[in-house]
Every structure is written in C-alpha cells, then in structure tokens.
Homo-oligomer: A and B are copies of this chain.
Amino acid sequence: MSRPWIPIAVVALLLIGPSRSPAAGAESADSGALFGFGTDSASSQRELEARFDAELRVDNLREWMERLSARPHHVGSPYGHQNALFLAELFRSWGYDTEIEEYQVLFPTPLVRELEMVAPTRFTATLAEPVLEEDATSGQTSEQLPSYNAYSIDGDVTAELVYVNYGVPDDYEELARRGIDVEGKIVLARYGGSWRGIKPKVAAEHGALACILFSDPRDDGYSAGDTYPEGGYRPRLGVQRGSVADMPLFPGDPLTPFVGATASAVRLSLEEAPTLTKIPVLPISYGDAAPLLEAIGGPMAPASWRGSLPSTYHLGPGPAMVHVRLEFDWQQVTAYNVIARLEGAELPDQWIIRGNHHDAWVNGATDPVSGMVALMEEARVVGKLARDGHRPRRTIIYAAWDAEEPGLLGSTEWVEEHAEVLLEKAVAYINSDSNSQGFLNAGGSHTLQRLVNEAAADVLDPRTGLGVATRNRARRVLGSTGKQKEALAGDAIRLYPLGSGSDYTPFLQHLGIASLNLGFSGEGHYGQYHSIYDSFDHYTRFMDPGFEYGLALAKVAGRVVLRLANADVVPFEFGTLADNLATYVDEVGELADTMREEAETREALLAGGVFAAAANPGETWLPPEALEPVPHLNFAPLLNAMETVTTSAAELAAALQLDGDEAAGAAVGARLDEMLFRSERALTRAEGLPVRPWFVHYVYAPGFYTGYGVKTLPAIREAIEQRDWALAEAEITNTAAVLDALREQIDAAAALLVE
C-alpha cells in the first residue's frame, strides 16, 4: 500500500568505507580526484594535505587560548592591543608578511547604568556578574566591561513596564489584539527570536521609551542545562552583552559608513549616526528580571511567551514601573586588525582570505578565541609548508579582526578601505568564530558547497572516528521529519545561506565576494555567551576540553583554503547555486500566495465575526486588523531568468569536466578563474537593497527585521513582507537582471573553454 521513505540500500551506503560525501563519490574516493584539480595536481594536493594534518599540534591551541583569553580584551582595551601585537609577532614568525592596520572607531562604554523598580515595590537591579572561585578570570573586575548594550543612546526614563516576549513585530500584533500599546512605556523583552538589535528598533517604532533585555532561563539558563560553574549554562546573574546598533542598515563604525574609519576619514556627528538606537537599552540577568516580571500585572502572556521563571508571565502595562538611567562615554578607540599575507607563487593577484576576530566582550575563550586558535594553527602549518617548498599558487591572507563584537567594525572598515583591490583580487573569504564540540556547521555561497563537501569528507569527527560529513548527514536525516528520503539526496552538507553575525558580512554582502562561515557546534554547553564566564575554565570544561574540534576546524578550513589556493581552476560550481536559487525563487512566489490566502481568510473570518465569537468575553481579545489584499505579482521575469541560469550552469559543468582525469579549464588559467570567482559580484547591484544601499548582494542579506536571520532574494522578499507591491514588482525585475548578469558570467566562462 505504501512505500518506505528510504530504500535500505541507500542508507546503508551512508557509513560504509572511508567517509566521503556522495558528491565526491565512490570513484573519486578511489582515485583521489578533487574538484578543480587535474589528476596529477590532485595527487600532489592530497600529499600536501597529509603533511598539513601531520604538522597540526593540539597543544598550540590550548596554549594560545590560555594566552589570548587570560585577560579581558575588548576593542580599545590594553590587553586587546597586546593580543594584536602577539598575533602579529606569531604570524611573522611563521613567515607571513604581517601588518597591523588601525582604525579609529566609535565605541561607547558605560559611565552610568542604573535600573530600579519604583512601583509597586522597590528593587534595584544588581547589574553585576559575581566572581566565581571555579573561574580564574571572573575576578578581573577592573578590566571587565560591565554588562551593557553597545550603541544604546543615553537616557533617563521612568515608565510602566510592558512584557513584549522577544520584541519582534509579530509580538506587537499580539499585544495590540489584547489592547496593549507600548507608547510611553518601557518594554521588557527576552533575548532570542531575533538578533538583539531588532528589539529596541521595533520597540522604538512602537513608541516605547526604553528597552530592557533579559536572558530567560528557558533559553540558555537552567532549563537548557546545569548552570555555571556546575554546568555550562547561564547562571542567575549572568548577562549577555552585545551590540544593538542597527546593523541591518550597515555594520561597522557608526560614524563612517561606506568608508574606512581611518584617522582622517570624514565622520558623521553622533546626532547624524543612523545606526545608534533611538531609545536606551540595557541587558539584565534573569536574577534581575525575576522581580520585574513578577511585578507586572495585566493580562496573561500567551502560552508561547511564557519562559521558565517561576512566576506567572503577565503583559502589563504596569503596575511595575521602572526607572532606567544610562550614560555612556562616547569615545573613539583604536581597532587593530592583524593582516598576514603569504604571497602566491603563481597567481599572486588571486587572494584567498581567511579571517576570525580577536576581540571579545570580556575574556572570550569561546567567542572568538576558540575559532582564532584554530585559524592560527592552520596558518602556522600553511606557513611552514610554504617554507618547506610548498608555497601556494594563489595568495593567502590570514586576518585577525578587531572590534567584531560591537558590530563587525574591524573587518568592515578594512573592507571599505580596500574595496577596490578586493573587488579585483578576492577569490573568496573564509570566516570562523566560536567553535565547540559537535557538528560542522557551514554556511555560505552555494558556488562553494561542493568544495566544502569534499573537504569535510576527508576529515574525521574526533570523538566518533566517523567522517565529519557523515555525522552531518546523519543529523540532517534524523532532523527531517517525514522527509528522510529527501534529506538523503545530494550533498551531505548543505550550506545555510548567510545572514549576518560575523565578519563575512562586509565581504559577501558589501562587495560580493564568495564567502564561507565554518565552525563546529551543537555539543558544547553554551550558556556563557557574551558574559564574564566565557573563559578558559569554562571552555576547557564545557565546550571542547581537548581542543579536538578546534583541530578538526583547522583541518576543514585548512583544506578549503589550500584547495582554493592551489586548484588548477578555482573550484566554483554553479549547479548547486542554481538549485538553491530556484528554491528561493519558489519561496518568494509561495510567500505572496500564502499572504494572499491569509488576507482573504482573515477578511472572511472578520466578516463572519469569527474572532469575536471565539474570544473570551472576560478578556480583551480584539479581532486582528484586516490585511490589504495581495495582488498577483508578475514573477515571469524572475522565473525566466532562473531557467537560463540553470541551463547555463549545466553547460558550464559539461564544458569544465574538471572532476575526471582532465582539468579542461586549466589551460585557460587566470582568466577563467576570474570569470568564476567574480560570478559572486554579478549577484550584487551597485544601488544596493531598498532603504539600505550598503547591502548590495541580491541573494543573501540579513533581514531588516531579523538581524542575523538571513533573507534570501532580500529585495523581493522584504518588499512582499512589507506589503509594498509596487516595490516588489520593481525588485522582481531588478533581481531578474541580477540573475541575467550571473548567467552572462557563467556563459562567458563557458565560452572561454570552447574558444
């Protein structure tokens, strides 16, 4: 009557033999073929990688983490500067041509932080994370940044509290249905559900006077696991620091959009700076949030808004009334980017850039040092191999960014300053950041998915001895409810599309440089995020005690970097990109359809009085607003452009035939490479996205109302979401033009091969 979802034979293939992705295939596993390499060069490359692996030393990671996280090292701190100098010295010692590039960036730090409840009872928030005997660096109070949100404006406000759940736009619709308006109130929002900077932005749009953020124990406290120091999760008074600048508008120094924040750069005044918050914002612990929440009255919060604090979650407004006072030192500090270059032997003007930030909120063992030490060991061995006669064909640049935490400042200013040369020479940017035990989590440009799969297939998970790709696929299979079969098809690793949240953003979304973000995660106990407890002690107990996953990251990223650097033809692949693009094209069409149905259904339900009839007459429960009808949009230009991309991608693949015995393209050399890696530039438009011209990528962008969360085909998708139908039509045309430009680039590459 029915068929099983997964033919047994297919699954059985999964874990057999040396762990290789099906993309590499049984044949290539035997032959050692590598995408982008001819037979001989693949063989040399594999030998090189064997040496690379053999040289890696796990003890280096431990030693460097201990050194780098020994003291607080936020941007502008003395120890942050010392770390930059230390890093530069090491890179030099490994044979890199190393410079420290400096920027003068706005970095406010707190002068006054006060939060007190003034009614119905009095309570003064602690706003301090206790020193723990079990955590050696937690007592470095004189050097620690206090808990705060960077780029909150100054303020002194007293008003009633309203609990707004995650504080995203949908939450305000729920409040409106309960007759609750935050105009003139202070909102209490929990972390999660969106990037934190969205919460004060949306609160201000709704007229709130201030925004208090707290970590609900449901999300990363005692409900998630044992709290620090018994376990790795957030203790009662732990606080998540973080930037609340309006990063979806532009990241980097708030005073120097589009240009590097050099000493001489023309700067906006503070008043002009559009990414500063509109209202004061302060993060607090759940220990400090509990009395506030308990004092809020009014209607019950909806079931999904209730967290794990041991009281009833109400919405307000009031009777809880709080006074919040914030003042900041609006100083400029120096950010120190460490840039280490290894000139390519054959194609010095093709750059592979590999970066990780070095600044932290406090000691930052996990964030960012865990990724940094993996990068360092990778760089050390790449340098050593070069000195041993294996200099890469293309140039490799290792970067240690400063000032990522306040908003990707180090990387953004560098990219802005060097935009012209990067547009010309950058092949790809490979980022990492926090790393822990778990699964390889890889996001990025889909032209690089095949490369990532081949690299991951050759690296073993340190604790199971299974292939990293195998574990990745297994997790995807188990996570696919009722779609196991679908989950088995194709590559083991599917790159998630990049939104924002780390230093790939300026490369990918401001310049159109193909980018990757690589890291292991999922099996660490991660409740120390942006607190003083993100320490060496925490990391070595709860994240990756043996630094084995740090080493695994070095192996995966090292392969990606070395293959990009040494390939006969840069290993960009367009079939996967086309598949993903087609999915996004389908999605935006379905989005419009779904919204149309939703508007029609709501209209019908309103006309029928259904909301009123189902409402509890003892509570306020207003019918939702009617939705403007959704017109049918002309998706034809987009669909047509998409078809041609798919066809051209297949034609190029046929022309390349790179993964067999011959590297057909090798002969045409650098010109072909440029055609291929500049394809990512074709996905941008110089005008940028509506409202935010800094973001020029038309396929991947952080959401204007999600922050880190990605919006694919963002111009169309957000126009539809915001019900701007005329804009949506225009952006369908613009996006179709972008796909046409991509197709032209692909065709031009193919044409080179048949010349």
Find chain B residues with CB under 8 A from A7 CB.
Answer: 604
- CB atoms of B310 and A310 under 8 A apart: yes
Once A217-B310, A463-B617 are accepted as A-B contacts, the answer to whether A4 and B227 lie under 8 Å apart by CB is no
A754 at the interface (CB under 8 A from B): no
Q: Which of B1, B603, B616 contacts A523 (CB 8 A)?
A: B616
- CB atoms of B618 and A437 under 8 A apart: yes
A601 at the interface (CB under 8 A from B): yes
Once A593-B1, A613-B464, A614-B471 are accepted as A-B contacts, the answer to whether A312 and B607 lie under 8 Å apart by CB is no
Closest to A223 in B: B306
Cβ < 8 Å to B, chain A residues 305-326: 306, 308-313
Whole-angstrom distance between the Cβ of A632 and the nearest chain B Cβ: 7
Whole-angstrom distance between the Cβ of A543 and the nearest chain B Cβ: 11
Once A222-B311, A310-B310 are accepted as A-B contacts, the answer to whether A484 and B601 lie under 8 Å apart by CB is yes
- CB atoms of B613 and A15 under 8 A apart: yes
Cβ < 8 Å to B, chain A residues 262-292: none
Whole-angstrom distance between the Cβ of A29 and the nearest chain B Cβ: 17
A600 at the interface (CB under 8 A from B): yes
- CB atoms of A523 and B227 under 8 A apart: no
**What count of chain A residues pass the 8 Å CB interface test?**
63
A477 at the interface (CB under 8 A from B): yes
- CB atoms of B300 and A225 under 8 A apart: yes
Whole-angstrom distance between the Cβ of A286 and the nearest chain B Cβ: 9
- CB atoms of B477 and A610 under 8 A apart: yes
A607-B309 Cα distance, complex, nearest whole Å: 43
Interface string of A599-635 (1 = CB under 8 A from B): 0110111011111111011100000000000001000
Whole-angstrom distance between the Cβ of A465 and the nearest chain B Cβ: 9
- CB atoms of B464 and A600 under 8 A apart: no
A596 at the interface (CB under 8 A from B): yes
A474 at the interface (CB under 8 A from B): yes
Interface string of A497-512 (1 = CB under 8 A from B): 0000000000000000
- CB atoms of A4 and B478 under 8 A apart: no
Closest to A306 in B: B223
- CB atoms of A605 and B463 under 8 A apart: no
- CB atoms of A309 and B310 under 8 A apart: yes
- CB atoms of B312 and A605 under 8 A apart: no
A85 at the interface (CB under 8 A from B): no
A345 at the interface (CB under 8 A from B): no
Once A310-B222, A601-B484, A618-B463 are accepted as A-B contacts, the answer to whether A11 and B437 lie under 8 Å apart by CB is no
- CB atoms of A617 and B4 under 8 A apart: no
A466-B226 Cα distance, complex, nearest whole Å: 51
- CB atoms of B227 and A312 under 8 A apart: yes
Cβ < 8 Å to B, chain A residues 450-497: 463-464, 466, 470-471, 473-475, 477-478, 484
Whole-angstrom distance between the Cβ of A535 and the nearest chain B Cβ: 20
Q: Which of B464, B605, B617 contacts A6 (CB 8 A)?
A: B605
Closest to A603 in B: B8
Once A464-B617, A596-B2, A601-B4 are accepted as A-B contacts, the answer to whether A11 and B227 lie under 8 Å apart by CB is no
Find chain B residues with CB under 8 A from A13 CB.
Answer: 608
Q: Which of B312, B438, B470, B613 contacts A471 (CB 8 A)?
A: B613
- CB atoms of B308 and A607 under 8 A apart: no
Q: Which of B11, B15, B478, B609 contacts A604 (CB 8 A)?
A: B11
A630-B523 Cα distance, complex, nearest whole Å: 36
A170 at the interface (CB under 8 A from B): no
Once A6-B604, A593-B1, A613-B471 are accepted as A-B contacts, the answer to whether A223 and B464 lie under 8 Å apart by CB is no
Cβ < 8 Å to B, chain A residues 574-618: 593, 596-597, 600-601, 603-605, 607-614, 616-618
Find chain B residues with CB under 8 A from A660 CB.
Answer: none
Whole-angstrom distance between the Cβ of A301 and the nearest chain B Cβ: 10
A616-B474 Cα distance, complex, nearest whole Å: 12
Once A609-B14, A617-B463 are accepted as A-B contacts, the answer to whether A6 and B227 lie under 8 Å apart by CB is no
Q: Which of B306, B310, B632 contacts A1 (CB 8 A)?
A: B632
- CB atoms of A613 and B474 under 8 A apart: yes
Closest to A592 in B: B1
- CB atoms of A597 and B2 under 8 A apart: yes
A12 at the interface (CB under 8 A from B): yes
- CB atoms of A11 and B312 under 8 A apart: no
Find chain B residues with CB under 8 A from A10 CB.
Answer: 604
Whole-angstrom distance between the Cβ of A547 and the nearest chain B Cβ: 15
Interface string of A14-37 (1 = CB under 8 A from B): 110000000000000000000000
- CB atoms of A523 and B310 under 8 A apart: no
Cβ < 8 Å to B, chain A residues 196-253: 217, 222-223, 225-227, 231, 233
Once A6-B601, A477-B605, A484-B605 are accepted as A-B contacts, the answer to whether A226 and B470 lie under 8 Å apart by CB is no
Closest to A236 in B: B310
Find chain B residues with CB under 8 A from A14 CB.
Answer: 608-610, 613
Closest to A290 in B: B310
Closest to A311 in B: B222
Closest to A475 in B: B614
Closest to A11 in B: B608
9 contacts between A and B (CB under 8 A): A4-B597, A11-B604, A12-B608, A15-B608, A308-B308, A463-B617, A464-B612, A474-B611, A478-B611
**Other A-B pairs beyond A11-B608, A225-B312, A464-B617, 20, CB < 8 Å:** A2-B596, A7-B604, A8-B603, A8-B604, A10-B604, A11-B604, A11-B605, A12-B608, A14-B609, A15-B608, A217-B310, A222-B310, A308-B308, A474-B609, A475-B613, A477-B610, A477-B614, A484-B601, A523-B617, A523-B618
The 4 closest A-B pairs by CB, nearest first: A11-B608, A474-B613, A4-B600, A463-B617
